Amino acid sequence: MIETEAKVIEILQKLPSEGPNLDYKEMPYKKDDKYSFIKDVISMLNAEAAMDKDKFIIFGVEDKSKQLKGIEEGSWRDDNEWQNLLLNIFPIPTDIRTGTVQFNNLVFGYFCISPLNNEWIYEVGKAVFPEYGQHAKHSNTLFEGQAFTRRGSKNVTLFSKDRQRILEKKIQSNNSKAHPVIVDSKYDEILMGTLGLIGIWNEDYDGDVEAVGKITGLSKDELLIKIRRYRSESESVLLYSNGVWKTSNHLELLLREADKIYDNHIEAFFDCLKNVFFEIEPKYNLDPDKRHMATFFLHGQRNKYSNAIKEGLAETLAILGNNKEVFVNCSDNKILNGVCQFIREFFKIDDWRGYASQADYFQYIGEACPSVFLDEIIELTSKEDNAFVEFLNEKEQGITVTQYGYQLLWTISNIAKLKQYFSRAIVALFQLAKYNTSFGDALIGVVLPWYPQTHAPIAIRVGVFNGLAKEDINLTWKLLMKLMPRVTTTGSPIQKPKFLKVEDIPETVSAKDYMEASLGYINIAIEISGNDVNRLCDLLKVIDDVDIELQNKIVNRISDASINLSLEEKEYLWDKIQDFLVRHRKFSDADWALGEERLKSIDKLASHVLTDSRHAYAVRLFRKDQYSLMEEKDDYSKEEEKLRDKQTNIIKEIYSKDGIRGIVEFEKEVENIGAIGACLGNFIDDSDVLYIISKSEQIENDDLIRNFFLTIDIERTIEIICNEPDEIQAKILSFLPLTKQTLEIVEKIGEGAQKIFWDLTNVWGIGQDCFEIYERAVERLNASRRTDKSIFILYICLKEKREIKISVVVETLNLNVEVASTQSNNTLDEYYIQHLIKWLQEQDVDKDTMVLIEWKYLVFLEEREGYPPTFLWDKMSSNPEYYMGIIKLICGKEDDFSGSNEERTRIVGQCYKLLYGWKRVPGLRMDGTLDATVLDNWISFVTSESKKHDVESMALNYFGRAAFYAPVDEDGFFIEKHVANVLQEDKEGHALSGYFTEAFNSRGVYNVDITGQAEFELEKSYQEKANAADEAGMFRLAETLRKIARAYHDEGEHNIKYGLSFDSE
């Protein structure tokens, strides 16, 4: 969970745009909104562009502006509730983590969907109806079998053709398409036994063919002749699809033919296994940030051996290791020795890329011989300088960072289920946790007192931590703290091993077992806490969830240990005790709050730890987390005022006793120096303010100075700084709100100092009078390359309906792209930019200028959101050369492209997005009328040019999609007749195919109607259009319209069948 939270915080820091594996939500799902939750999760699970990646839904971020808002306390639901909702998905996904993180003093919720869920197409497993009655079944309803996916940042319905394509990408061998090769009465048992040793192979890979030949003793042609000739009426032994041969049931076949396997077969198998598993994937020669796009960068490079044969041989290794006794014609220990020797040789690889290349098969290697597998991992992770440790430190970078070795998580966790391997498996996870915190989380998942995933008894589960503490006390302590009551609140069953024989883990534990395990972990924590102040503070938190007997034991441990602490450590511990007391007294009505009698012993502990707490009390009042210092929870403003009074009294006391130098010294000891500045405003002498300024190393980053000047009026500010150098004046003025008065003062200082001001100002508190000089502000901010601030000002002007100059907006938007490409901290604000571009589209702006701006910001322009790239659409519709340039670039037919591969990839993605959203038929004027001459010339040029470059299908297909949005003809015909005639003349069917596709895409996301009425109405509409087309002699167009009508009829019938099945339940 720590690594997951770190990834979430990384996203909150960088706020990347939403995409296939990232979605922002302002608020958590409401309890009655199962529909949105299930639909969003299924869409993420099926996201085609985010396979093998963590996918995140983050709550507390406004999805348009990406403003960090956080979620309200108590609005986040328990993980158990989320996991129960996942039962409505089929198959039930695994390893979906939920939780909350703290960031910028706000709480954010998250779902993290693991890449482990990459084996199926996920769909609605059980219908979900609205909570308010069956009459609303047609709206916001999910029906069994529905599936969704993510396209960009949008959820869309997953139709059958898309399911098939995605499934083919998810599963290497597609059983649904595989056609069986049947064996007949001439069934060759020896051949089938040797094929069982291979399991899966690809006949298109030379290495696979070589390996199969070595094990079977047959050439490729001899083998193919035999297996293709087999026929049988009752049993399918082999499956074949796209060059891949696969045994229909690997385990069953190999065990059935085990007596046909001899020593020479086993030797040949292990020889091939070593050759295959010591091959390095070319992907790992790339830089970390390019590995997730290896297919693109490697330009078709591939290994000698396929992934198919790797999986097949790895499965065989695990089958052999767990079923040695059935291979009766092999010498004693022949298989065991072979398995052990292979694993030991495998872990002697001296190149990290070797481990990365075979990481997906760790599961089978571990299942084959768990004891040797664990021994090798423990030995390698106990040293620092070896290839395996280097592998663990390698990573792959996309939107988030994936650290290598994660496949070991479930492999070792599965082995830990068995009592005889438990301790070694825990040690292995413990060692690995030093390199990746996810392994620590996996260890916790195995030994959770309320949901253990092992058959090891409680005494062993608890006792292992005594041994771990001797190895690494700090890591052991971190893990133990996660086992304290109410700390780790989520757990999930570990996926069952494929071949290792493990009995099912009970789904529940008795209250007695839970208490025994929990008390065991707590007592070990008490014993090993020592005199470490941080551990003592951790122990203090445990008191929340224990009885009075354990509380007394913990209090006595802390009390005894505190004697040996330094004064600084005692003050730190005292502060944490005060936090404990304030929290319980503030929320005294909560179920978890301790009664006053029990809190009295904690009061005594605080007095014992620190007999004189005046200094600690003063420092405590100036911590960053001000809310935790408030003693009441009902009236925030009142509590804030009380706290400020306390702080002010402390500062006054220090100031009156030790003067400004006392304040400067006190500043060094506290976290929240800004609060000191806010307190000083009412009584500090101006000369002392100047003293503080003179002692500041970086005025612009000094919170004390900032907050002081924010609490006094501008007249006193000017009076204090008037004799200071211009540079200092500029830095202090940059703290103030951006008003006309502020700018008038700024313009009186030197030009160099003015630049400092514009480099630093936060552009806040914009007053009404500032609109008068917005142009000057934007000009200066642009000169400082702070275009994000300029865009904010321009947006505020639009929002307040102020007049702004077109040239200023255009210049700022163009400059912003340049700035964003060179500054990592410049965030393009989609929401503000969308509004500015839409405003420009409504003004009298040069077309070429608008085309350039829309192209630069195309990623932000979405017609469904109300921000279409209208000038780009018009450019494609009116300029066939421009349109064909896009088509040729996509198809790799553009010879004069001079950019890098990365640049080409980015531009091609832009072009696809532009074409996919294009909804302006060629010849359509901006006023909505059609220029037939332009259309004819456009079609003529595109047809000729596309044939010349062999891209006619794509070029005309996208024309057909755009033609779907052609206006109604002036005589009432459903489509402008000139466009209709172009479609009619499409003898090859390319444009008509695009028209057909867009007829369905245009419907977008919709609720399923179990009466079929919506679909039948669409069917009727398209039938009427088909009849009208026939009457006009447009028979090809009419046939396409009838195909659309038939498709909607079939969908309506399908929906009715689903509805009837639900009504019968």
Residues in a beta bridge with 402: 396
Query: Would the pLDDT of 1064 be above 60?
Result: no
Q: pTM for the full model? A: 0.63
For residues 960 and 1031, state if they share a domain. yes
Kindly state the DSSP code that residue 881 receives in the 8-state scheme.
H
**Please, what's the b/e burial string for 574-589 (b: 16 or more CB within 10 A of its CB; e: otherwise)?**
bbbbbbbbebbebeee
Q: What is the pLDDT of residue 19?
A: 86
Query: Would the pLDDT of 141 be above 90?
Result: no
For residues 825-854, average pLDDT: 90
For residues 148 and 189, state if they share a domain. no
Q: Are 60 and 108 in contact (CB under 8 A)?
A: yes
Residue 151 CB coordination number (10 Å)? 16
Pairing of strands 244-247, 200-202: antiparallel
Percentage of the chain beyond pLDDT 90 is: 63
Provide the pLDDT confidence category of residue 134 given band limits of 50, 70 and 90.
very low
Whole-angstrom distance, CA of residue 737 vs CA of residue 723: 22
For residues 1036-1064, average pLDDT: 82
Hey, is 395 helix, strand or coil?
strand
Q: What is the pLDDT of residue 826?
A: 57
Residue 842 CB coordination number (10 Å)? 8
Q: What is the pLDDT of residue 682?
A: 86
Nearest to 175 by CA among 94, 228, 117, 119: 119
The answer to whether residue 116 is domain-embedded is yes
For residues 261 and 205, state if they share a domain. yes
- Ranges 456-470, 531-545, 757-771, 990-1004: which has the least confidence: 757-771
Give me the long-range contacts of 781-784 (CB less than 8 A, separation at least 24).
Answer: 782/811, 782/812, 782/815, 783/755, 783/758, 784/755, 784/758, 784/759
Handedness of CA 353, 357, 360, 366 (dihedral sign): negative
Considering 350, 379, 405, which residue would you say is the last residue of a domain? 405
The answer to whether residue 363 is domain-embedded is yes
For residues 267 and 383, state if they share a domain. yes
- Ranges 155-159, 535-539, 556-560, 694-698: which has the least confidence: 155-159
Residues making up the chain, counted from first to last: 1065
Provide the pLDDT confidence category of residue 691 given band limits of 50, 70 and 90.
very high
What residues contact 257, with CB distance under 8 A and at least 6 apart? 189, 190, 192, 193, 196
Give the domain CATH number at 118: 3.30.950.30
Whole-angstrom distance, CA of residue 496 vs CA of residue 502: 8
Q: How many helices (H) and strands (E) does the chain have?
A: 49, 14
The answer to whether residue 256 is domain-embedded is yes
For residues 476-489, average pLDDT: 94
- Ranges 100-104, 493-497, 983-987: which has the least confidence: 493-497
Place of tokens 């469904």: 864
Considering 405, 421, 448, which residue would you say is the last residue of a domain? 405
Q: What is the pLDDT of residue 770?
A: 67
Whole-angstrom distance, CA of residue 513 vs CA of residue 508: 10
Q: What is the pLDDT of residue 233?
A: 35
Considering 568, 585, 620, which residue would you say is the last residue of a domain? 620
The CB-side HSE value for 632 (13 A sphere, CA atoms) comes to: 10
What residues contact 1042, with CB distance under 8 A and at least 6 apart? 1022, 1023, 1026
pLDDT one-digit tens code per residue, 758-793: 999 989 887 676 677 888 999 999 999 999 999 999
Query: Would the pLDDT of 444 be above 80?
Result: yes
For residues 34 and 130, state if they share a domain. yes
The answer to whether residue 731 is domain-embedded is no
Listing DSSP states for 275-324 in one string gives HHHTPPPGGGGS-TTTGGGHHHHTTT---SS-HHHHHHHHHHHHHHHH-G
Query: Would the pLDDT of 402 be above 60?
Result: yes
Whole-angstrom distance, CA of residue 63 vs CA of residue 627: 27
The answer to whether residue 930 is domain-embedded is yes
Nearest to 785 by CA among 761, 757, 816, 830: 816
Q: What is the pLDDT of residue 476?
A: 97
The answer to whether residue 76 is domain-embedded is yes
Q: Is 480 exposed, middle or buried (0-12, 13-18, 19+ CB in 10 A)?
A: buried
Nearest to 1041 by CA among 1011, 1000, 985: 1000
pLDDT one-digit tens code per residue, 961-976: 999 999 999 999 999 9
Provide the pLDDT confidence category of residue 142 given band limits of 50, 70 and 90.
confident
For residues 709-721, average pLDDT: 93
For residues 422-427, average pLDDT: 97
Q: Are 792 and 782 in contact (CB under 8 A)?
A: no
Estimate the share of the chain in helix, then strand, then coil, as percent rounded to the nearest 5: 60, 5, 35
Place of tokens 């597609």: 174
| Counted domains in the chain | 4
CA distances from 536 to 466, 540, 555, 577 (A): 18, 6, 10, 10
pLDDT one-digit tens code per residue, 613-660: 999 999 999 999 888 888 887 788 898 999 999 999 999 999 999 999
Q: What is the pLDDT of residue 598?
A: 95
For residues 118 and 183, state if they share a domain. no
The answer to whether residue 329 is domain-embedded is yes
pLDDT one-digit tens code per residue, 222-255: 888 777 765 443 356 788 878 889 988 899 889 8
Q: What is the pLDDT of residue 93?
A: 87
Q: What is the pLDDT of residue 232?
A: 43
Query: Would the pLDDT of 139 be above 60?
Result: no
Query: Would the pLDDT of 468 be above 60?
Result: yes
- Ranges 140-144, 305-309, 794-798, 925-929: which has the least confidence: 140-144
Query: Would the pLDDT of 571 be above 90?
Result: yes
The range of the structural domain enclosing residue 124 comes to 2-170
Most confident range (mean pLDDT) of 239-248, 296-305, 446-455 is: 446-455
Nearest to 505 by CA among 464, 461, 446: 446
Provide the pLDDT confidence category of residue 125 given band limits of 50, 70 and 90.
confident
For residues 139 and 112, state if they share a domain. yes
For residues 156 and 204, state if they share a domain. no
For residues 949 and 986, state if they share a domain. yes
Q: What is the pLDDT of residue 24?
A: 93
Whole-angstrom distance, CA of residue 599 vs CA of residue 916: 65
For residues 970-985, average pLDDT: 94
Q: What is the pLDDT of residue 177?
A: 38
pLDDT, averaged across the chain: 89
Nearest to 672 by CA among 602, 742, 745, 622: 622
For residues 100 and 193, state if they share a domain. no
CA 968 to chain centre: 44
Query: Would the pLDDT of 140 be above 70?
Result: no
The answer to whether residue 916 is domain-embedded is yes
Q: What is the pLDDT of residue 175?
A: 42
For residues 614 and 574, state if they share a domain. yes
Whole-angstrom distance, CA of residue 407 vs CA of residue 405: 5
Whole-angstrom distance, CA of residue 250 vs CA of residue 861: 51
Q: Are 842 and 798 in contact (CB under 8 A)?
A: no
For residues 76 and 97, state if they share a domain. yes
Query: Would the pLDDT of 326 be above 70?
Result: yes
